[in-house]
Structure 1
């Protein structure tokens, strides 16, 4: 095996589907969108709970 062939073999790597390129960007965009949606829902639930706790006088 020549030296050149060995160097190419060491530098070779493989990407599985979704690890790079357009599919990776689409996956990251999807994760970011759902993270924002979940964060908004949790914030709304906590805000509602805090509102009702303070309104009922339980926070005093």
Structure 2
């Protein structure tokens, strides 16, 4: 007969959640940094398409 699984401890659960949230926090920080560098025009390693209208006017 099947036995119920053991309950996961709160510390294991909290550690797993902290790792998951930490990864998300790091990705958000990198995205914000990239966005700021694009807005200031200092982005060197990021290529993005520019509208043709802007190039014709300038």
Same fold? TM cut 0.5: yes
Structure 2: unaligned runs, 5 residues or longer: 43-47, 52-58
Aligned with 1:52 (options 30, 37, 40)? 37
Relative contact order (C-alpha < 8 Å, sep 6+): which is higher? 2
Structure 1: unaligned runs, 5 residues or longer: 1-8
Aligned with 2:15 (options 22, 25, 30)? 30
Structure with greater Cα Rg: 1
Please give the root-mean-square deviation of Cα atoms over the aligned residues, in Å: 2.6
Q: CA deviation at 1:28?
A: 1.4
TM-score using structure 2 length:
0.58
More helix by share: 1
Q: CA deviation at 1:14?
A: 3.9
Q: How many residues are treated as equivalent by the alignment? A: 44
User: Which consecutive segments of 4 or more residues in structure 1 shift more than 3 A?
Assistant: 57-60
Cα distance per residue 1:35-57 (max 9 Å; x no partner)? 11111100000000000011108
